[in-house]
Chains A and B, each alone.
Chain A
Amino acid sequence: MPLNVEMPEPIEKSYWHSPRWWRLALKELREILRDRRTIITLVAMPLLIYPLLGVTLQKLLMAQLAAKSKVEYRLAFQSRDDQRLFRENFGHGHVIVAQRTPYEASNRIEPLGTTEDPFLEFVGPDQETGSVDVGTMISSGEADIGIIFASNAQRQSVQMEILYRSSSPYSCDARRFVEERFRAINEEFARKELATVKHGRLLPFEIRAESLTRSGKDHGPTFSLATLVPLILILMTVTGAVYPAIDLTAGERERGTLEALVSSPVPRHELLFAKYIAVVSVAVLTALANLLSMIATAYASGLEGLLFGSGGLSLRLVASTLGLLLIFAAFFSAVILVLTSFARSFKEAQAYLIPVMLVSLAPSVICLLPGIEFNGWLSVIPLANIVLLARDVFDNRVIPIWALATLLSTVLYSAVALSAAARIFGTDAVLYGSDGSWLDLLRRPESSRQQASLTQATLGLAILFPTFLILGGMTSRITDVSIGYRLGINAGLTILLFAGLPIVLAAISAVNFRSGFSLGGASPLSFVAAGMLGLSLWPFAYELVLLQTPDRLSEFVKLFESFKTQLDAVPLAWKLISLALVPAICEELFFRGYLQTAFREEMSTPWAVGLSSLLFGLFHVIVRDALFFERFAPTCFLGLILGLVCVKTGSLWPGMLLHSLHNGLLLTISSYTAQLKAMGIGNSEQQHLPTLWLVVAGTVAIIAGGLLVRQRSRTTKP
């Protein structure tokens, strides 16, 4: 409050058309993109590096092939007849190719590094059985190419299919070598046909080449050049982000413009966010420039099969790669901004960055070793998860749950890093070198807070999510104990993560428990209304599940049935405690108590309730090692109701009652399905509830809602 009676003069309002953070970001971008050093990283490096790498790689491959005294291709056939047909025609094609004129010969595709004709070794079919699985032989590397003939009597031609591995240069060369000779037969035939002007006949061979991947469970992932591509792109994105991050933070401080900037009435976190947008933009532009240059080089040097994995280069692959690089850029830019915001000079920033980059890149390189499988642990390790996901995208074998875990954890880590950077950027410790250190980030505040900040809430999520994924996965693998014990372990885990973690974080951050978790009392009417909602919401959750497609629903029902069969052996009381009461109390503490209360400090109530229920829904989608999106709609719906109850009553307790009753009722119903079936309910997976039930439940819910709305709101926005 002003001390003087003199009133401040009115402040002129701004009438700019775009948001201020965007205008600030544009200024940062303008400045950084005019800097020649940025242009060198952004344009000159990709233009120089990839052609150079392409030529080097080509020479390397040629040298490798030349080092072999004699090229030898191993051919596999479906049958002895196929082998015979090949022998009869290959020689003819080979003679045609050999007799070509010099002009034609310039189009020949000789095996790299040698002009001598290669040996052809026939490795299949088996002499005894006379048959072989050609696809398996190619995938396993036993043969370089496989050839399958199929006569087409109707078309008076033979269909020839060549199977090969696009990731193996040797296999690609073998395919080209054989394919060229059979095409030569076709060309010879076509020439003769044209001479006689006899229409209607088709070419003797219809040739089709199919690339096979060498990955898969049978053989395990193997190393190929394609696995290096994402890492190279990530490294180049890093180089794009580093310079602007240093220049816009430590560089500004060194040049003396930072003081003028923070002397303006713009919040420091907004200034930092603008810088973050600029750094991410430059990093993504660098990634794009590198990707385009890499694609152009691969095309020009004929290495696209080697560099872009089994599926080859496609628009989908380019879009997925760019998407991953964007997420990586968002994460890495946030991390380096934490470091550079603390630095007082360019040199100091570099000194912080180099060791961190080396340490963080090490696990990523290790992840590219053959035999590393993407799993729950790796999906939450920063950087390594992106590298592995990129590898799987290139191999066209993405596992949805690990992809989701990678994306979610990376977004969370980015948010935490950005929040930390915002706390450091432009502080007097950095600006004037006064008494500040890294420990300031961890120091317990001297005065208590009414609720956790958005930063602390994000930190809680960033710790909870990977821990939940890893520990949840571990407990699901415990099979040598009874189901009762397993329920106990899960309940313990729920208490540890959803109650223990926020309580510890709140204690560290000096958050007042009563206000920070909305633990104040509520009126008796609030409990009555919450109880009514707890008893009446389950039919709607049930109906929301039925909105899924029949296939997914059937899968969901199977999972539910298998779980229910196991649970039949457990006493109902223990089920109610471990699966209804404990999760209800703990989840309310975390989602509505810790998160929603923190969100409400920074955003409007509808956004805070919406975001906390969205997160509540997302956490319920993860079931063991799989994703069940069927659970999203009902849990999100329940989360919304619980969030509103918490806001309206100003207390977490009615929500806990509602949540416990809802869970408990569903569990009790599942324990008495036989009796319900006798009443004609639950005979089919897609059986809707009787309309009367829905009307009754709806009426009860509306009355409960009315009771909540009518009573005086006991909460105010923090």
Chain B
Amino acid sequence: MISVHELTRHFRSNGRTIVAVDGLSFQVKSGEVYGLLGPNGAGKTTTLRMILGLLAPTSGDAEVNGFRATSQPDEVKRRIGLVSASSGLYQWLTPREMLMFFADLFGVSPVRARSRLDEMVALFDLGEFIDQRCATLSTGQKQRVTLARALMHDPPVMLLDEPTRGLDVVGTHVVFQYIDKLRSLGKAVVVSTHRLDEASHVCDRMGLLHHGRLWHEGTFAELQQVTGCSNLFDMFLKLLGQKPESPAEDAEVVDAP
């Protein structure tokens, strides 16, 4: 479903070249939740933006359902639902208007859009406030609208960028349930987060990113084995101790499948 090949992105800043993502490769299958884990600045969000076709890679490419992000960005976008912590809502529209608007953007027919809206209302319990202006909604209600928006066009691939940032325990639980639901629906899901506790709960496989490079990849058990650490927190501390120039100990790197 998602296939990332040697994805690289450089930025220029004050005359210096910064390598945000460096030769990243991984794959995610349908019904699988893949966690992109790493500290701030590791390149998680940049990777998701390149998969979505919003940011052009310096080299390499990402592929979604057989379509390349660099040459067919519209086809790629059509097949992806994005949930981002930085996403906002249209303050002067109601959730109903906003969800129907996004359905239209993604080419969903009016009849299908109405049916999807009913499904989303039931799934996220939006009925109470579906016709209220978004500006008047609580943080939790806004979060549910954001989650519903990404699913309106029923995409096969979901990208979740720091989905629990700024949320309380209840909000985080809603996101966990959402990810479980996506898995059960057979969607390929990539979750970027620096919250290690939640990653081990929801992700089937994880990739540890540091300075734009994938240092380790595998299931939680595999990561425990290759890093020699019992939990993700220790793995991270070990990872942060690595120098940016040096790649992971060759023998210890779990090759991307």
A residues apposed to B, CB below 8 Å: 1-4, 6-9, 11-16, 20, 23-24, 27, 30-32, 34-35, 255-257, 259-267, 428, 431-432, 434-435
Is the CB–CB distance between B13 and A265 below 8 Å? no
The listed residue (A31, A257, A265, A432) touching B107 by CB distance below 8 A is: A265
Task: Check: B108 CB closer than 8 A to any chain A CB.
Answer: yes
With a cutoff of 8 Å between Cβ atoms, the chain A residues found around residue B92 in the complex are 30-32, 34-35
Measured CB to CB, the nearest residue on chain B to A426 is B54
6 shortest A-B CB distances, which residue pairs? A2-B66, A256-B88, A264-B105, A265-B74, A34-B92, A255-B88
With a cutoff of 8 Å between Cβ atoms, the chain A residues found around residue B82 in the complex are 259-260, 263
Q: In the complex, what's the smallest C-beta–C-beta distance from A341 to chain B, in angstroms?
A: 16
Q: In the complex, what's the smallest C-beta–C-beta distance from A395 to chain B, in angstroms?
A: 43
Is the CB–CB distance between A264 and B63 below 8 Å? no
Is the CB–CB distance between B86 and A256 below 8 Å? yes
Q: How far is the CA of A12 from the CA of B101 in the complex (A)?
A: 16
Q: In the complex, what's the smallest C-beta–C-beta distance from A423 to chain B, in angstroms?
A: 15
Task: Check: B38 CB closer than 8 A to any chain A CB.
Answer: no
Is the CB–CB distance between A435 and B12 below 8 Å? yes
Q: How far is the CA of A435 from the CA of B12 in the complex (A)?
A: 6
| B residues 100-125 in Cβ contact with A at 8 Å | 101-102, 104-112
With a cutoff of 8 Å between Cβ atoms, the chain A residues found around residue B156 in the complex are 9
Is the CB–CB distance between B104 and A428 below 8 Å? no
What is the predominant secondary structure among interface residues of chain A facing chain B?
loop
With a cutoff of 8 Å between Cβ atoms, the chain A residues found around residue B106 in the complex are 264-265
Q: How far is the CA of A696 from the CA of B67 in the complex (A)?
A: 59
With a cutoff of 8 Å between Cβ atoms, the chain B residues found around residue A432 in the complex are 49, 54-55
With a cutoff of 8 Å between Cβ atoms, the chain B residues found around residue A4 in the complex are 3, 63, 65-66
Is the CB–CB distance between A260 and B65 below 8 Å? no
Is the CB–CB distance between A256 and B87 below 8 Å? yes
Q: How far is the CA of A23 from the CA of B149 in the complex (A)?
A: 18
With a cutoff of 8 Å between Cβ atoms, the chain A residues found around residue B84 in the complex are 256, 259-260
The listed residue (A6, A24, A31, A435) touching B66 by CB distance below 8 A is: A6
| B residues 1-21 in Cβ contact with A at 8 Å | 3, 11-13
The listed residue (A15, A34, A264, A265) touching B75 by CB distance below 8 A is: A265
Q: In the complex, what's the smallest C-beta–C-beta distance from A613 to chain B, in angstroms?
A: 33
Mind listing 10 A-B residue pairs with CB under 8 Å? A2-B67, A4-B3, A8-B79, A9-B65, A31-B92, A34-B133, A259-B87, A260-B84, A263-B82, A264-B106
Is the CB–CB distance between B66 and A259 below 8 Å? no
Is the CB–CB distance between B102 and A15 below 8 Å? no
With a cutoff of 8 Å between Cβ atoms, the chain A residues found around residue B101 in the complex are 27
Is the CB–CB distance between A3 and B107 below 8 Å? no
With a cutoff of 8 Å between Cβ atoms, the chain A residues found around residue B226 in the complex are none
| B residues 52-97 in Cβ contact with A at 8 Å | 52, 54-56, 63, 65-68, 71, 73-75, 77-80, 82, 84, 86-93, 97
Q: How far is the CA of A257 from the CA of B88 in the complex (A)?
A: 5
With contact pairs A31-B92, A34-B92, A255-B91 given, residues A428 and B63 touching in the complex (Cβ less than 8 Å): no
Please name 14 further chain A to chain B contacts, defined as beta carbons within 8 Å, in addition to the given A2-B63, A4-B66, A12-B109, sorted by A numbering.
A3-B68, A8-B75, A12-B107, A13-B109, A14-B109, A16-B109, A32-B92, A256-B84, A261-B105, A264-B106, A265-B73, A265-B78, A428-B54, A428-B55
Is the CB–CB distance between B105 and A8 below 8 Å? no
Is the CB–CB distance between B102 and A260 below 8 Å? yes
Q: In the complex, what's the smallest C-beta–C-beta distance from B155 to chain A, in angstroms?
A: 10
Q: In the complex, what's the smallest C-beta–C-beta distance from B43 to chain A, in angstroms?
A: 13
B residues apposed to A, CB below 8 Å: 3, 11-13, 49, 52, 54-56, 63, 65-68, 71, 73-75, 77-80, 82, 84, 86-93, 97, 101-102, 104-112, 133, 149, 156
Is the CB–CB distance between A259 and B13 below 8 Å? no
With a cutoff of 8 Å between Cβ atoms, the chain A residues found around residue B78 in the complex are 11, 265
Is the CB–CB distance between B11 and A257 below 8 Å? no
Q: In the complex, what's the smallest C-beta–C-beta distance from B192 to chain A, in angstroms?
A: 14
Is the CB–CB distance between A31 and B149 below 8 Å? no
Is the CB–CB distance between A257 and B52 below 8 Å? no
Is the CB–CB distance between B66 and A7 below 8 Å? yes
Is the CB–CB distance between A6 and B102 below 8 Å? no
With a cutoff of 8 Å between Cβ atoms, the chain B residues found around residue A11 in the complex are 78, 107
With a cutoff of 8 Å between Cβ atoms, the chain A residues found around residue B97 in the complex are 27, 30
Measured CB to CB, the nearest residue on chain A to B149 is A260
Q: How far is the CA of A34 from the CA of B93 in the complex (A)?
A: 9
Is the CB–CB distance between A15 and B105 below 8 Å? no
Is the CB–CB distance between A8 and B66 below 8 Å? yes
With contact pairs A12-B109, A15-B109, A257-B87 given, residues A263 and B52 touching in the complex (Cβ less than 8 Å): yes
The listed residue (B67, B71, B87) touching A8 by CB distance below 8 A is: B67
Measured CB to CB, the nearest residue on chain A to B93 is A31
Q: How far is the CA of A263 from the CA of B108 in the complex (A)?
A: 15
With a cutoff of 8 Å between Cβ atoms, the chain B residues found around residue A13 in the complex are 107, 109
Q: How far is the CA of A265 from the CA of B55 in the complex (A)?
A: 14
Q: In the complex, what's the smallest C-beta–C-beta distance from B144 to chain A, in angstroms?
A: 15
With a cutoff of 8 Å between Cβ atoms, the chain B residues found around residue A8 in the complex are 65-67, 75, 79
Measured CB to CB, the nearest residue on chain A to B156 is A9
With a cutoff of 8 Å between Cβ atoms, the chain A residues found around residue B13 in the complex are 435
With a cutoff of 8 Å between Cβ atoms, the chain A residues found around residue B110 in the complex are 15-16
Q: In the complex, what's the smallest C-beta–C-beta distance from B6 to chain A, in angstroms?
A: 13
With a cutoff of 8 Å between Cβ atoms, the chain A residues found around residue B90 in the complex are 31, 257
With a cutoff of 8 Å between Cβ atoms, the chain B residues found around residue A9 in the complex are 65, 156
Q: How far is the CA of A15 from the CA of B133 in the complex (A)?
A: 27
Name the residue among A16, A265, A432 with the largest chain B CB count within 10 angstroms: A265
Q: How far is the CA of A23 from the CA of B112 in the complex (A)?
A: 17
Q: How far is the CA of A511 from the CA of B255 in the complex (A)?
A: 44
Is the CB–CB distance between A266 and B105 below 8 Å? yes
With a cutoff of 8 Å between Cβ atoms, the chain B residues found around residue A14 in the complex are 104, 107-109
With a cutoff of 8 Å between Cβ atoms, the chain A residues found around residue B105 in the complex are 24, 261, 264-266
Q: How far is the CA of A260 from the CA of B3 in the complex (A)?
A: 22
Q: How far is the CA of A8 from the CA of B78 in the complex (A)?
A: 11
Q: How far is the CA of A1 from the CA of B66 in the complex (A)?
A: 8
With a cutoff of 8 Å between Cβ atoms, the chain A residues found around residue B68 in the complex are 2-3
Q: In the complex, what's the smallest C-beta–C-beta distance from A271 to chain B, in angstroms?
A: 9
Is the CB–CB distance between A30 and B93 below 8 Å? yes
Q: How far is the CA of A264 from the CA of B106 in the complex (A)?
A: 6
The listed residue (A2, A23, A30, A256) touching B104 by CB distance below 8 A is: A23
Q: How far is the CA of A701 from the CA of B233 in the complex (A)?
A: 84
Q: How far is the CA of A613 from the CA of B11 in the complex (A)?
A: 46
With a cutoff of 8 Å between Cβ atoms, the chain B residues found around residue A431 in the complex are 54
With a cutoff of 8 Å between Cβ atoms, the chain A residues found around residue B54 in the complex are 259, 262-263, 428, 431-432
With a cutoff of 8 Å between Cβ atoms, the chain A residues found around residue B86 in the complex are 256, 259
Measured CB to CB, the nearest residue on chain A to B53 is A263
Q: How far is the CA of A262 from the CA of B52 in the complex (A)?
A: 10
Q: In the complex, what's the smallest C-beta–C-beta distance from A344 to chain B, in angstroms?
A: 13
Q: How far is the CA of A20 from the CA of B101 in the complex (A)?
A: 11
Is the CB–CB distance between A428 and B88 below 8 Å? no
Q: How far is the CA of A267 from the CA of B65 in the complex (A)?
A: 20
Q: How far is the CA of A8 from the CA of B65 in the complex (A)?
A: 6
With a cutoff of 8 Å between Cβ atoms, the chain B residues found around residue A260 in the complex are 82, 84, 87, 102, 149
Name the residue among A4, A14, A263, A435 with the largest chain B CB count within 10 angstroms: A263
Measured CB to CB, the nearest residue on chain A to B84 is A259
Q: How far is the CA of A617 from the CA of B95 in the complex (A)?
A: 52
With contact pairs A260-B82, A260-B102, A435-B11 given, residues A265 and B77 touching in the complex (Cβ less than 8 Å): yes
Q: How far is the CA of A11 from the CA of B76 in the complex (A)?
A: 12
